[in-house]
C-alpha cells in the first residue's frame, strides 16, 4: 500500500464516504454511517507514513467547507498552503452537512430523529478515523481544530496517536467545565421546550423548532463573542427606527444588540438542523479527555503527539486558563500561543493576521527538519 | 421639621407607604403606588440634615429584608451597625415583595399585568425618593447597593445629590453594556415565549410561566457565579443516581450542574413573579447614567456625592473593568475596592469577610470627622 494514492474526490467537491456501523462510546449502534468531506491540494507522500495531509476540524455549526469558513488561512500561499499541503475536512458525525445525523434517513426510510443516539467527541473522532481508513489513509501530518474542532483534535492525539504526527488545539479545554455544561444545557433546554421539537421527531411534522434553535443561538453567541467587542459594536444603542425606551416594553422595539442577536439566531435556523444542534451540544457536554484514562492529568500527560495549544485572551466560553491548563499538563507540548483580541472565542476565525502567524509557526515547528515526501520536499520555505 | 422623628414602623416589620401616582421617565402613569420597606436601628439626627440613615438597595430578585439577605454585614456590631445606624431598605418599584408591580392590583380591581409600564432605574429611585419624603426624610447619610441596587445607588447620587451624603456602588456599571442587554433580553425572551405568559396577563388564568422563569434564572445564574467556582463545585460530575453519559440524551439523567441550575430556577419560581422579573430586567436594560445628561462621562464627572466603588475580580455580568470605568470618571470618588473571589458577581453577597472590611472602611471614609447627631456621636469607634 505504501505510496498508493488515496482515492480523493475532486478538489473542493463535497463527497461522501460510507463507513458502515458505528458503535458509540455509550453502546448504541448507528448503522450505515456516511461521512461527508472536502479536500484542497494534492496528496503527496505515504498514506501509511510521512505525508502532507492536514486534517482540519470544524466547530459546532461548521462544516467540511474549511476553505470557506477559514478562507484566510487555507489556500494557495496561505498559512495552510494548499500548494504544499493536502487539507482534508469532514463534516462531523451528528452534523447536518452531509454526514449522518439526526436529520438523516435511517435504514428504515424514516428520519433518525430521537433514535439517533447521544454521541461523544470520541465517537466523532472514531467516525473520522474510520473515514480515513476507508480512503486508505493511516496517518496524517497534522490535525488542527478550534472549539469543538479543538476537542476532536485533542481526542485524536489520545485515541490514535500513531495516526497523528502533530496537532494544533485551539480555544478548547481538556473537558467540559461546569459552566460550559450549564450554558450549553440552557441552549438544549431552549430547543427541547419548543412545542415544535416533538421529542426530536419533528422531521415529518412539517414544522421545526426554529424559535428554540434561535433562542439557543442567541445564548451561545454571547459566549462566542467578547463582552467588550459586543459593547463596542452595539453599546446601548437603539436599533435604527425602533425605540427600546418607550412607555411599554415591546418585542418589536429593540436595542441594536437584540436585533443583531435575533438575526444571528434566524441565520442559524436557515442553515442548521435543531436536532444536530442538540446532538453536537450534548457531545460538547460529554467532552472529557480524562474519562476512562485515569483522569485529566494522567490522560494529558500520556499524550505523545507534539501538540500546539492556542487560546484567546477574552474567550468567555473556553477561558484562557483552560488552555494554560492544557499546556501545563500535555505530555508533549510543541508550543503555546495566545490570540489577543476583543472578539472572544470566535477570534480564531476572525483574527486572520494572528492566526496566519500562529499557523505558519505551527507548520514550521511541526516540520523542524522539513518533510521528505518522495519527490516533494516540504520545509525550508516555512522557516521564518 | 428639624429634628422631628420620621414615623418609622416597628423595627424589622414589613410596612407600606403609599406615594400616589408616579409618572415614569417614558411618560406613563402608575397610579396608587405603594412602597414596602423595613428598617433596623433607631433614627438619630435631623431628617433634613445630618442623620444616621443608611439606605440599602437590593438586587434584582431581592427584597426589603436586607438584614436577612445581607445578614453578615447588617446588624448589631456588624459593619452596618444597627446600634449606631438606622438601616432602611425598600422593595423596589416593579417588584413583588410589597411594592407596586405588575402582579399588584390596579385601581380597577384587576392585576396590572401588561398594563404595568416599562420602568427605568430612575423611576425606581424616584419612587424611593417619594417614599422617603412621605416619611419626612429629606436626606440620608449613605446609600449602598449592589447589582441593580448599585444602579439605583448611582442614580441616587445624580438625581438627588442634595439628599445623599455618601454612596457605595457595588458590582455595577455606568450603563447596561451590549452584552448585558443581550443576555438579559435572552432571559426576557425565555419568559415571554412561555405559552403561560399570555402577554403578561397570566394572573387570572390559573397558570404562571414557571418554565420560562426557571429558564431565565438558569441563564442568569451562570452570570451571577464565577465560571471557576461553578467548575470547582460541579465540574462534569453526574448528579447522584443519574447517568448523563447514557446511550441516549435524557432530560432526567443530568450532570450535577444542571440539577443545581434547575433547582435555582425552581426556587425562584416559588418566590418571585415572572412579570416582576421581566419588568426589573427591562429596567436593567435601560440603565444608562448618561441618558439626557450629555453622555456617560459628563454625567459621571458631574457627580458631587462622595462615592465608593466596589467590584469583583471574576464578575461575568458586570466585569471589573466597568467599575474601573466608574472610578476613573466619577466626579467625587471616595475610594475603590476589589473583592477577590472565585464566586463572581454574587461575591458581594457571599464574601462576608471582605464585605465587612470594605463596608467598615466605607463607614470610616464617609464619617471622616465623626457625625454629630444631637446627643449621639458617630465616628471614632469606626476608625481602624
Domain of B32, CATH number, reads: 3.40.50.1820
Quote the minimal CA–CA distance from B13 to chain A in Å.
33
Count other Cβ atoms within 10 Å, centred on residue A49. Answer: 12
Q: Determine, yes or no, domain membership for B4.
A: no
Rounded to a whole number of angstroms, the distance between the first and last alpha carbons of chain B is 35
Residue A108 annotated as part of some ligand binding site: no
Give the 3-state secondary structure of residue A159: helix
Question: How much is the pLDDT for B375?
Answer: 56
Question: How much is the pLDDT for B3?
Answer: 55
Q: Which of A182, A222, A236 sits opposite B183 (nearest CB)?
A: A222
Q: Which of A28, A190, A255 sits opposite B248 (nearest CB)?
A: A28
Q: Which of A236, A248, A288 sits opposite B236 (nearest CB)?
A: A288
Count other Cβ atoms within 10 Å, centred on residue B196. Answer: 16
**pTM confidence score:** 0.96
Question: How much is the pLDDT for A269?
Answer: 98
- Chain A residue at shortest CA distance from B275: A249
Q: Determine, yes or no, domain membership for A9.
A: no
Residue B122 sits in the same domain as residue B57: yes
Residue ending a domain, among B283, B316, B342, is B283
Please indicate whether, in this complex, the C-beta atoms of A222 and B285 are within 8 angstroms of each other: no
Please indicate whether, in this complex, the C-beta atoms of B235 and A195 are within 8 angstroms of each other: no
Which stretches in chain A have pLDDT values below 50?
1-2, 380-384
Strands (E), chain B: 15-23, 29-40, 53-57, 74-75, 80-81, 86-90, 140-146, 164-170, 307-312, 333-339, 371-373, 376-378
Closest C-alpha to B312, from B264, B358, B277, B363: B358
Q: Which of B176, B215, B246 sits opposite A190 (nearest CB)?
A: B215
Q: Determine, yes or no, domain membership for A2.
A: no
Please indicate whether, in this complex, the C-beta atoms of B215 and A222 are within 8 angstroms of each other: no
Which stretches in chain B have pLDDT values below 70?
1-3, 374-384
Please indicate whether, in this complex, the C-beta atoms of B178 and A249 are within 8 angstroms of each other: no
Residue A20 sits in the same domain as residue A143: yes
Residue ending a domain, among B234, B259, B283, is B283
- Chain A residue at shortest CA distance from B123: A247
- Chain A residue at shortest CA distance from B250: A118
Please indicate whether, in this complex, the C-beta atoms of B190 and A190 are within 8 angstroms of each other: yes
Question: How much is the pLDDT for A381?
Answer: 47
Q: Does the active-site annotation cover A315? A: yes
Contacts of B189 in chain A (CB under 8 A): 215, 218
Residue A22 sits in the same domain as residue A170: yes
Question: How much is the pLDDT for A368?
Answer: 85
Which of B114, B180, B190, B236 to probe by mutation at the A interface, max A CB count within 10 Å?
A: B236
* Helices A178-192/A274-285 angle, 10° precision: 160
Residue B137 to residue A282: CA distance in whole angstroms: 56
Q: Determine, yes or no, domain membership for A4.
A: no
Residue B234 to residue B260: CA distance in whole angstroms: 9
Residue ending a domain, among A226, A261, A283, is A283
A128: phi then psi, degrees, rounded to nearest 5: -70, -35
Catalytic residue among A104, A147, A303, A341: A147
Please indicate whether, in this complex, the C-beta atoms of B231 and A27 are within 8 angstroms of each other: no
Q: Which three cell numbers stand for residue B102?
A: 405588575
Q: Determine, yes or no, domain membership for A83.
A: yes
Quote the minimal CA–CA distance from A149 to chain B in Å.
20
Say which CATH number the domain at A211 has.
Answer: 1.10.1740.110
Residue A66 to residue A61: CA distance in whole angstroms: 12
Residue A169 sits in the same domain as residue A210: no
Residue B277 sits in the same domain as residue B297: no
Residue B220 sits in the same domain as residue B296: no
Give the 3-state secondary structure of residue B305: coil
Closest C-alpha to B117, from B133, B106, B129, B128: B106
Contacts of A222 in chain B (CB under 8 A): 179, 182-183, 186
Which of A175, A186, A277, A342 to probe by mutation at the B interface, max B CB count within 10 Å?
A: A186
Element (H, E) at A372: strand A371-373
Residue B46 sits in the same domain as residue B146: yes
- Chain A residue at shortest CA distance from B117: A248
Question: How many structural domains does chain B have?
Answer: 2
Residue A33 sits in the same domain as residue A147: yes
Q: Determine, yes or no, domain membership for A350.
A: yes
Q: Determine, yes or no, domain membership for A5.
A: no
Please indicate whether, in this complex, the C-beta atoms of B215 and A193 are within 8 angstroms of each other: yes
Residue B324 to residue B328: CA distance in whole angstroms: 6
Catalytic residue among A211, A315, A325, A366: A315
Quote the minimal CA–CA distance from A115 to chain B in Å.
8
Are A188 and A327 contacting, i.e. CB atoms less than 8 angstroms apart?
no
Instruction: Tally the C-alpha atoms within 13 A of residue A308's C-alpha that lie toward its C-beta.
Output: 26
Closest C-alpha to B310, from B146, B174, B170, B173: B170
- Chain A residue at shortest CA distance from B286: A245
Residue B351 sits in the same domain as residue B276: no
Residue A81 annotated as part of some ligand binding site: no
Please indicate whether, in this complex, the C-beta atoms of B178 and A257 are within 8 angstroms of each other: yes
- Chain A residue at shortest CA distance from B316: A316
Please indicate whether, in this complex, the C-beta atoms of A178 and B233 are within 8 angstroms of each other: yes
Q: Determine, yes or no, domain membership for A224.
A: yes
Residue A201 sits in the same domain as residue A233: yes
* Helices A256-271/B178-192 angle, 10° precision: 60
Cβ contacts of B295 within 8 Å, gap of 6 or more: none
Residue range of the domain that includes A103? 15-176+288-383
Please indicate whether, in this complex, the C-beta atoms of B177 and A236 are within 8 angstroms of each other: yes
- Chain A residue at shortest CA distance from B27: A247
Contacts of B247 in chain A (CB under 8 A): 24, 26-28, 117-118
Residue A228 sits in the same domain as residue A105: no
Contacts of B222 in chain A (CB under 8 A): 179, 182-183, 186
Give the 3-state secondary structure of residue B361: helix
Quote the minimal CA–CA distance from A6 to chain B in Å.
34
Q: Which three cell numbers stand for residue B183?
A: 443576555
Quote the minimal CA–CA distance from B279 to chain A in Å.
8
Give the 3-state secondary structure of residue B166: strand
Q: Which of B179, B244, B246 sits opposite A227 (nearest CB)?
A: B179
* Residues of B carrying an active site annotation: 147, 315, 345
Quote the minimal CA–CA distance from B126 to chain A in Å.
16
Please indicate whether, in this complex, the C-beta atoms of B246 and A26 are within 8 angstroms of each other: yes
Q: How far is CA A229 from CA A183, A198, A238, A257, B290, in A?
A: 20, 37, 17, 11, 20
Q: Which parts of chain A fold into alpha helices (H)?
A: 66-69, 121-134, 148-159, 178-192, 210-224, 227-234, 256-271, 274-285, 296-301, 320-329, 347-350, 352-366
Residue A314 sits in the same domain as residue A247: no
Amino acid at each position: 500500500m505504501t505510496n498508493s494514492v488515496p482515492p480523493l474526490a475532486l478538489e473542493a467537491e463535497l463527497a461522501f464516504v460510507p463507513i458502515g456501523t458505528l458503535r458509540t462510546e455509550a453502546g448504541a449502534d448507528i448503522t450505515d454511517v456516511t461521512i461527508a468531506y472536502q479536500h484542497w491540494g494534492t496528496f503527496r507522500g505515504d498514506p501509511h507514513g510521512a505525508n502532507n495531509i492536514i486534517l482540519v476540524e470544524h466547530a459546532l455549526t461548521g462544516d467540511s467547507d474549511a476553505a470557506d469558513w477559514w478562507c484566510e488561512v487555507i489556500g494557495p500561499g496561505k498559512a495552510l498552503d494548499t500548494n504544499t499541503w493536502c487539507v482534508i475536512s469532514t463534516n462531523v458525525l451528528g452534523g447536518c452537512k452531509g454526514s449522518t445525523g439526526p436529520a438523516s434517513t435511517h435504514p428504515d426510510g424514516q428520519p433518525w430523529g430521537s433514535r439517533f443516539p447521544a454521541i461523544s467527541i470520541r465517537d466523532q473522532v472514531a467516525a473520522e478515523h474510520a473515514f480515513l481508513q476507508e480512503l486508505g489513509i493511516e496517518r496524517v501530518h497534522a490535525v488542527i481544530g478550534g472549539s469543538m474542532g479543538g476537542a476532536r483534535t485533542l481526542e485524536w492525539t489520545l485515541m490514535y496517536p500513531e495516526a497523528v504526527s502533530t496537532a494544533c488545539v485551539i480555544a478548547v479545554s481538556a473537558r467540559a467545565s461546569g459552566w460550559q455544561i450549564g450554558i450549553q444545557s440552557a441552549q438544549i433546554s431552549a430547543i427541547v421546550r419548543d412545542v415544535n421539537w416533538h421529542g426530536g421527531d419533528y422531521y415529518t411534522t412539517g414544522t421545526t423548532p426554529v424559535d428554540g434553535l434561535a433562542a439557543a443561538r442567541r445564548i451561545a453567541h454571547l459566549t462566542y463573542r467578547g463582552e467588550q467587542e459586543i459593547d463596542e459594536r452595539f453599546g446601548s444603542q437603539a436599533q435604527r427606527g425602533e425605540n427600546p425606551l418607550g412607555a411599554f416594553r415591546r418585542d418589536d422595539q429593540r436595542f441594536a444588540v437584540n436585533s443583531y442577536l435575533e438575526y444571528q439566531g434566524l441565520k442559524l435556523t436557515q442553515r442548521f438542523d435543531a436536532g444536530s444542534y442538540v446532538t453536537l451540544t450534548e457531545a460538547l457536554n460529554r467532552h472529557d479527555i480524562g474519562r476512562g484514562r485515569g483522569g485529566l492529568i494522567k490522560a494529558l500527560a500520556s499524550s505523545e503527539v507534539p501538540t500546539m495549544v492556542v487560546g484567546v485572551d477574552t474567550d468567555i466560553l473556553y477561558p484562557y486558563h483552560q488552555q494554560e491548563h492544557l499546556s501545563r499538563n500535555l505530555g508533549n507540548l510543541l508550543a503555546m500561543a495566545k490570540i489577543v483580541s476583543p472578539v472572544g472565542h470566535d477570534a480564531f476565525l476572525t483574527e486572520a493576521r494572528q492566526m496566519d502567524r500562529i499557523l505558519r509557526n505551527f507548520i514550521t515547528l511541526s516540520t523542524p527538519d522539513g518533510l521528505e515526501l518522495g519527490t516533494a520536499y516540504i520545509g525550508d520555505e516555512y522557516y521564518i
